[in-house]
Every structure is written in structure tokens, then in C-alpha cells.
């Protein structure tokens, strides 16, 4: 172990917070305080909303921990499993709408958890507190309703019992209420349940008050709910279940005041798909988890050091263990630019790099090739994960990927319109229930919201979460996020026809030719024509250079293709065309044809005229005409006068 290289020790932790606590790094220096954590800790925010893998559970785990950074008061974490979710979804009360009924069962869950905490807490923190009448009453209530602390029982079983109690009658004698008598006049099942619940809640609130747990003497009880996605599905009852939870938490927070603090961790796709009348009242409670590239970099370093030792410096991590650059791009931009901004992605990608180098090849440093290989596999994972992340909210997402497969990653609205129109019928047929979302603006919104498509704004490409503004109707240029490009086979900016060299390179490069009779001092016609090709290329390249409003990746792609033409023309030494087997007239005509084709592609792609793409296309057509004229006519007759 001792003489193993540092790369062997390097590990960025587990990809989910639950396992990262037990077998990973989360609580051993791997946690990074962020705005969401501070918001949660301060008690100002109740709803922590984040994409899958953005670190909801991590905050939850950190707060639950007893060490530094943990919540110092009592804490309870509720994570409903499928069975418990089923119980809540099925819970109905005659006389109450779905959301309100679900809110009641959640309020019951909260009240019971608080009561169990209080009974325990009174014994420990408040000397003799357990002898307080209101606490004793809670103890009796819990016992009579099968909820005694320490009594165990899975959440689902206790829920089932509570649900039945609310629907019929709870044992409320502990609070001095004879259910059968006092509640007999309730007009409906719903009204009776609400009345019973109020009695329980008042019992809990009174105990908090009697003990003096007002959040000042000691920190409040922290009640957290995480992993709701486990019980989330398309059924409308799922919606009610979450809305009920929000309503219940809001109600309970005001009821228990400073004694209890609520934190609900919600996945963004779930939260954003809810619509309910009271929704506007929650905006102030919302806190969305956001990650910047710098924060992810800090996270990576913290984790690298937690695994490989404190002596690992940032410099050493990114310059020695990782290759400094990949394909000319700085390593951290390369890696984090290819992740959606969330820790799970970063952890997975970085671990993959380490595995490729150390597990697969037993190297002691990661090479460029390892990163590239890891990147391809990572891209495939992420495309699949995106599908499953949105399976409930947008089940058609996977069927949209072919619109972006094997083409350039820069996509204009015009191109997308054509592709979408071709696919629309099948999509509507396969997903009849989603016809409303399956329109061009609809899918652009979904793809942008999921982080799959970025939109060009000024000179930037903006992805979801960067500034929160949805795609506007006048915006016309999009880019597939780098994360998904490899998996889609969309690794070049623009789907331009590649220039195929016309001569066997080997022949020219090998020098297998003899200089023409005219020698190199006086240029023959072939040479002049070849110079003409080079000039045309330069002229086009200059025009591309002036099109500063054109997306850089697109400019680079045009430049690349035209440079290939230029490179080939330059490779034919003066006087050698004929002996190298080059028919220069043919060569010019083919090149002209290539430029005409390229111009047509550029015109067709739907990029805005204001980007300068039209000028580039026109220049190409002009140069193509000039080359044709030169090839057809005698040298010097035309086309050479306008210059550049």
C-alpha cells in the first residue's frame, strides 16, 4: 500500500450522498459548504430544490451528522419508501379535496415525529421535563396509537395506522378528548380528521411551550424530508402527495413557530411540474442549488485531498496526476465543461479518468487518451441518465435525441424546424398525451430546461441555470451541451461537407515527381492556376475572419475545411502538377464545386444573416465562379482583377 503511486489512492468519492457517507468521503473533508447549505442551516429557506445529483442529500447528510457542520439540535429525517408513498397516495378523506387530504396525513407524520422527539428530548435536555403534564400526555398518546418512541416500526406501518386513525378515530383520551363523543357531530370524514389532527398538534405545540423549546435555549428540532422521488410517478396522486407535503410543512412551520424547522429536499423536475393555487406563496421559501465551474473545481480538490492526502496540491492534481491539457484545452475546462454543473457528474467523470489510467493500464498518471476515453463513456452514461431523470416529467425526451444525432452540435432553429417536422408525426403517435408539449417551442423549452441545449446570446452560449431565462422566440441558434456530444456523434460544430483531398498525399509527399520543363523561375499555367486556388482560399478565410458575429465553433469548422483545401493546393510544388498526375483544370472545377456546395450548406443552415454567414457564402460563390472561369479560359483573362 505504502509504495503505491498517489494515483492509486486518488478517489473522488461515491456518487450518491447516502453511500458517500458510509463508504466515501462526504463527512471526511469531502463536503463543501455552499449557498444551499448555508440557506438550509440558517433556517431562512424551507425548500431546497435541485437537479438529480446536485447535492440535496449531501446537505441533508451533513446536517444530520453529529460532527462539525451538523445541526446541533434534535433532528429527524423522513425518507418515504415506495410502500410509504403508496400509503400516502391512497389516502383519501371524504369531503376533502386530494391536496388537503394529503396535507393532513403529512401533518400527522410531522406531529408524531415531533411528539416522539419531545418525549425523548424532555428526558435528556430538560431536567425533569418528562414529568411535565403535556409531555406525559404526548407519551400516552403515542403509546395508545402504536407510535411509542423506540417502538420501531417502519414508516409505512405507522403511516397505515395513522391513516386509519384519521379516517376513523384516533385515541385522543391522552388529551382529555373522548373521540366518539366529542367528535360525533363532525359533518364529514375530512372535518373529523382535521379536528382530531388539531388536537394532536395542539398537544405537541403545548409540550414545546411548556418545555421552553423556543429555538433560543437550544437549537430547534430539524425535520427533513428527502428522497421523495422514490415515490414519484405520473399519477395525479403523486402531485397531490408533494403539494400536500408543501402545504403541511407551511402549516406546521407556522404552528410550531421557532421550535421546529422544516426542510424539504425536492428534485427540480418534480417541483417545476407542480401547479397549484398556493404555489406563489412558496417562492420566498425556495432555494435552488447551483454550481459554478469554480465550485466544482474546489469540490474536486477537496475530495482529491481527502483521499490521497493533504499534501496533494491543486497544482499537482491538475498538472501531474491529470494531464495539463486535453486536445489543447486546459484540463479543468475540458472536464468541467463536459459535465452538467452538478457534483455527481464531476465525481463520475473524474473517477472514470482515474479508473482508465490506474485500473485499466496501471499507469501512475492520467494521460490525455485516458481522459478522452473516459469522456466518451461518461457521455454515454449521461445521455442515458438524462432520459431516466426526466422519465416522469418528459417521457418523450429520449425520442428527441435522434434529431441531434450524427450532425453538428450547432443547430439553428431553421434546421431544427425541418428535423422536427419530419419526426413530429411519429412523436405524436407515440406520445399522444403529450401533444401539447411536442411542438417546436415546446421541445426547445424542454431540451433547454434539461440542460441539453444551450442558446446563443451575444457571444455566449447560455445553458439552463446560467441565468434562468427561457429560450426567447427570436433566438435562433442552439448548441448541444458538450456533455452529450460524444454519445450523439455530434463532435464537430457544424455539419459541413468535409473536403476530401483529391490527390494521394503519398505521391506528392514522397517527391515522386519531376519538376516540369519550365523550371521554377517562370511559372507555367498549372502553377498559376494552383496559386489561384490558394488565393481563393485566403480570400474566403479572410471573409470568415471578418464574420466576428459568427459562433466561434462554426467559424472554426469553416476555417478547418477551407484550410484543408488550401493545404492541399500548397502541397503541390511548383512545376510538378503534371508529373504528379494532377489535372489542374479538373482540380479547379472540383474545388469550385466544393465551394458552391459549402455556400449552399451555409445558406441553408438557418444562421442569421447578421452573423455574417451570408457574406461568407457569397464570397465562396464568387471564388467558385472565378475558379471556373480560370479553368475554362486562358490564364489571366478574367477573375484575377478584383483582388482581395
Ligand X SMILES: Nc1ncnc2c1ncn2[C@@H]1O[C@H](COP(=O)(O)OP(=O)(O)OP(=O)(O)O)[C@@H](O)[C@H]1O
Of residues 347 and 584, the one with the C-beta less far from ligand X: 347
Residue 553: exposure state from Cβ atoms within 10 A (0-12, 13-18, ≥19): middle
Distance in Å, CB of 607 to ligand X, minimum: 37
Among 89, 305, 334, 344, binds ligand X (CB under 6 A): 344
Distance of CA 241 to the CA centre of its chain: 25
Of residues 364 and 385, the one with the C-beta less far from ligand X: 385
Q: Is 26 in the site for ligand X (CB under 6 A)?
A: yes
**How many of the chain's residues bind Mg ion (CB under 5 A)?**
1
Of residues 340 and 416, the one with the C-beta less far from ligand X: 340
Q: Is 347 in the site for ligand X (CB under 6 A)?
A: yes
C-alpha cell at 21: 457517507
Contact track, ligand X, 202-241, x by CB under 6 A: ---------------------------x------------
Which position's Cβ is nearest Mg ion?
Answer: 57
H helix runs in 183-235, sequence order: 189-211
Of residues 34 and 551, the one with the C-beta less far from ligand X: 34
Q: Is 57 in the site for Mg ion (CB under 5 A)?
A: yes
Taking contact as CB under 6 A, which single stretch among the options 25-33, 109-117, 182-190, 539-547 is the one that binds ligand X? 25-33
What is the rounded CA–CA span in Å between residue 625 and residue 619? 10
Among 55, 74, 220, 451, binds ligand X (CB under 6 A): 55
Q: Is 34 in the site for Mg ion (CB under 5 A)?
A: no
What is the rounded CA–CA span in Å between residue 362 and residue 371? 15
Strand partners, 478: 411, 455
122 binds, among ligand X, Mg ion, none (CB under 5 to 8 A by kind): none
What is the rounded CA–CA span in Å between residue 331 and residue 315? 12
Among 190, 343, 375, 451, binds ligand X (CB under 6 A): 343
Name residues contacting ligand X, limited to 184-203 (CB under 6 A): none
What is the rounded CA–CA span in Å between residue 544 and residue 613? 8
Contacts of residue 426, defined as CB under 8 A and 6 or more positions apart, other chains included, come to 399
Which position's Cβ is nearest ligand X?
Answer: 55
Distance in Å, CB of 88 to ligand X, minimum: 19
26 binds, among ligand X, Mg ion, none (CB under 5 to 8 A by kind): ligand X
H helix runs in 482-551, sequence order: 482-488, 505-509, 525-546
Contact track, ligand X, 578-607, x by CB under 6 A: ------------------------------
Name residues contacting ligand X, limited to 278-307 (CB under 6 A): 299
Name residues contacting ligand X, limited to 402-441 (CB under 6 A): none
C-alpha cell at 12: 473522488
C-alpha cell at 382: 449521461
What is the rounded CA–CA span in Å between residue 237 and residue 578? 79
Q: Is 263 in the site for ligand X (CB under 6 A)?
A: no
Look at strands 329-330 and 325-326 and give their pairing.
antiparallel
Residue holding cell 403529512?
106
Q: Is 50 in the site for ligand X (CB under 6 A)?
A: yes
Among 6, 7, 10, 13, binds ligand X (CB under 6 A): 13
Among 41, 54, 340, 566, binds ligand X (CB under 6 A): 54
Distance in Å, CB of 57 to ligand X, minimum: 3
What is the rounded CA–CA span in Å between residue 411 and residue 405? 11
Name residues contacting ligand X, limited to 27-46 (CB under 6 A): 30-32, 34
Taking contact as CB under 5 A, which single stretch among the options 6-14, 54-62, 104-112, 454-462 is the one that binds Mg ion? 54-62
Please, what's the b/e burial string for 497-528 (b: 16 or more CB within 10 A of its CB; e: otherwise)?
Answer: eebeeebeeeebeeeebeebeeeeeebbebbe
List, in sequence order, every beta strand (DSSP E) within 377-489: 410-412, 453-457, 460-462, 477-480
Of residues 88 and 347, the one with the C-beta less far from ligand X: 347
139 binds, among ligand X, Mg ion, none (CB under 5 to 8 A by kind): none
Q: Is 53 in the site for ligand X (CB under 6 A)?
A: yes
Among 10, 49, 58, 179, binds ligand X (CB under 6 A): 58
Q: Is 63 in the site for ligand X (CB under 6 A)?
A: no
Three-class DSSP labels, 519-536: CCCCCCHHHHHHHHHHHH
Q: Is 54 in the site for Mg ion (CB under 5 A)?
A: no
Distance in Å, CB of 20 to Mg ion, minimum: 10
Residue 375: exposure state from Cβ atoms within 10 A (0-12, 13-18, ≥19): buried
Helix (H) or strand (E) holding 303: helix 293-308
Query: How many residues in total does the chain contain?
Result: 644
C-alpha cell at 492: 464537430
Which backbone phi and psi does 286 adopt, to 5 degrees? Answer: -80, 140
CA dihedral 136, 142, 145, 150 (to 10 degrees): -140
Residue 187: Cβ within 10 Å count:
8
Taking contact as CB under 5 A, which single stretch among the options 50-58, 100-108, 309-317, 321-329 is the one that binds Mg ion? 50-58
Taking contact as CB under 6 A, which single stretch among the options 9-17, 168-176, 319-327, 396-404 is the one that binds ligand X? 9-17
Of residues 15 and 293, the one with the C-beta less far from ligand X: 15
Distance in Å, CB of 266 to Mg ion, minimum: 10
Distance in Å, CB of 65 to Mg ion, minimum: 15
Residue 586: Cβ within 10 Å count:
11
Of residues 55 and 149, the one with the C-beta less far from Mg ion: 55
**Which residues here bind Mg ion, judged by CB under 5 A?**
57
**Which residues here bind ligand X, judged by CB under 6 A?**
13-17, 20, 26, 30-32, 34, 50, 52-58, 229, 267, 299, 343-344, 347
Amino acid at each position: 500500500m505504502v509504495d503505491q503511486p498517489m494515483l492509486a489512492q486518488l478517489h473522488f468519492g461515491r456518487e450518491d450522498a447516502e453511500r458517500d457517507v458510509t463508504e466515501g468521503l462526504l463527512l471526511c473533508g469531502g463536503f463543501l459548504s455552499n449557498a444551499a447549505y448555508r440557506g438550509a442551516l440558517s433556517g431562512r429557506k424551507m425548500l431546497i430544490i435541485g437537479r438529480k445529483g446536485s447535492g440535496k442529500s449531501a446537505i441533508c447528510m451533513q446536517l444530520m451528522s453529529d460532527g462539525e457542520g451538523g445541526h446541533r439540535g434534535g433532528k429527524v429525517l423522513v425518507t418515504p419508501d415506495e410502500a410509504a408513498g403508496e400509503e400516502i397516495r391512497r389516502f383519501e378523506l371524504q369531503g376533502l379535496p386530494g391536496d388537503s387530504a394529503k396535507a393532513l396525513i403529512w401533518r400527522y407524520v410531522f406531529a408524531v415525529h415531533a411528539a416522539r422527539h419531545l418525549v425523548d428530548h424532555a428526558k435528556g435536555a430538560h431536567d425533569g421535563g418528562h414529568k411535565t403534564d403535556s409531555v406525559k400526555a404526548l407519551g400516552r398518546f403515542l403509546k395508545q396509537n402504536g407510535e411509542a418512541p423506540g417502538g420501531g416500526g417502519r414508516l409505512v406501518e405507522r403511516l397505515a395506522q395513522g391513516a386509519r386513525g384519521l379516517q376513523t378515530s384516533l385515541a385522543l383520551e391522552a388529551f382529555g378528548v373522548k373521540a366518539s363523543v366529542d367528535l360525533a357531530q363532525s359533518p364529514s370524514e375530512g372535518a373529523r380528521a382535521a379536528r382530531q389532527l388539531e388536537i394532536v398538534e395542539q398537544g405537541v405545540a403545548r409540550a414545546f411551550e411548556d418545555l421552553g423549546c423556543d429555538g433560543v435555549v437550544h437549537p430547534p428540532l430539524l425535520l427533513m424530508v428527502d428522497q421523495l422521488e422514490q415515490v414519484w410517478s405520473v399519477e395525479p396522486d403523486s402531485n397531490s402527495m408533494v403539494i400536500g407535503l408543501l402545504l403541511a410543512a407551511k402549516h406546521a412551520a407556522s404552528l410550531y413557530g421557532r421550535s421546529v424547522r422544516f426542510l424539504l429536499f425536492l428534485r427540480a423536475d418534480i417541483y417545476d411540474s407542480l401547479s397549484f393555487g398556493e404555489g406563489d406563496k412558496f417562492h420566498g421559501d425556495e432555494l435552488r442549488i447551483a454550481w459554478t465551474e469554480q465550485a466544482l473545481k474546489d469540490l474536486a480538490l477537496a475530495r482529491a485531498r481527502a483521499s490521497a492526502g493533504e499534501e496533494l496540491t491543486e497544482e499537482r492534481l491538475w498538472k501531474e496526476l491529470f494531464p495539463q491539457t486535453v486536445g489543447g484545452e486546459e484540463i479543468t475546462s475540458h472536464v468541467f465543461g463536459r459535465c452538467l454543473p452538478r457534483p455527481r457528474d464531476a465525481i463520475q467523470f473524474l473517477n472514470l479518468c482515474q479508473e482508465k489510467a490506474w485500473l485499466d493500464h496501471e499507469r501512475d498518471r492520467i494521460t490525455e487518451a485516458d481522459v478522452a476515453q473516459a469522456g466518451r463513456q461518461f457521455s454515454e452514461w449521461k445521455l442515458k441518465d438524462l432520459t431516466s431523470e426526466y422519465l416522469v416529467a418528459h417521457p418523450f425526451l429520449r425520442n428527441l435525441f435522434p434529431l441531434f444525432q450524427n450532425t453538428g452540435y450547432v443547430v439553428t432553429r431553421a434546421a431544427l424546424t425541418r428535423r422536427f417536422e419530419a419526426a413530429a408525426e411519429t412523436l405524436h403517435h407515440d406520445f399522444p398525451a403529450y401533444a401539447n408539449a411536442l411542438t417546436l417551442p415546446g421541445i426547445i423549452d424542454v431540451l433547454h430546461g434539461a440542460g441539453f441545449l444551450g442558446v446563443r446570446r451575444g457571444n455566449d452560449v447560455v445553458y439552463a441555470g446560467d441565468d434562468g431565462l427561457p429560450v426567447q422566440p427570436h433566438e435562433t441558434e442552439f448548441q448541444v451541451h458538450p456533455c452529450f456530444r460524444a454519445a450523439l456523434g455530434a463532435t464537430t460544430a457544424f455539419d459541413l461537407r468535409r473536403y476530401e483531398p483529391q490527390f494521394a498525399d503519398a505521391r506528392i509527399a514522397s517527391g515522386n515527381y519531376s519538376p516540369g520543363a519550365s523550371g521554377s523561375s517562370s511559372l507555367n499555367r498549372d502553377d498559376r492556376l494552383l496559386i489561384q486556388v490558394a488565393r481563393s482560399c485566403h480570400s474566403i478565410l479572410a471573409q470568415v475572419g471578418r464574420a466576428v458575429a459568427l459562433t466561434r465553433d462554426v467559424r472554426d469548422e469553416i476555417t478547418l475545411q477551407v484550410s484543408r483545401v488550401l493545404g492541399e493546393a500548397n502541397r503541390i510544388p511548383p512545376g510538378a502538377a503534371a508529373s504528379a498526375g494532377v489535372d489542374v483544370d479538373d482540380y479547379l472545377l472540383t474545388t469550385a464545386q466544393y465551394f458552391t456546395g459549402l455556400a449552399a450548406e451555409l445558406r441553408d443552415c438557418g444562421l442569421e444573416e447578421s452573423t455574417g454567414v451570408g457574406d461568407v457564402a457569397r464570397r465562396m460563390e464568387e471564388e467558385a465562379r472565378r475558379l471556373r472561369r480560370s479553368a475554362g479560359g486562358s490564364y489571366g483573362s478574367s477573375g484575377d482583377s478584383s483582388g482581395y
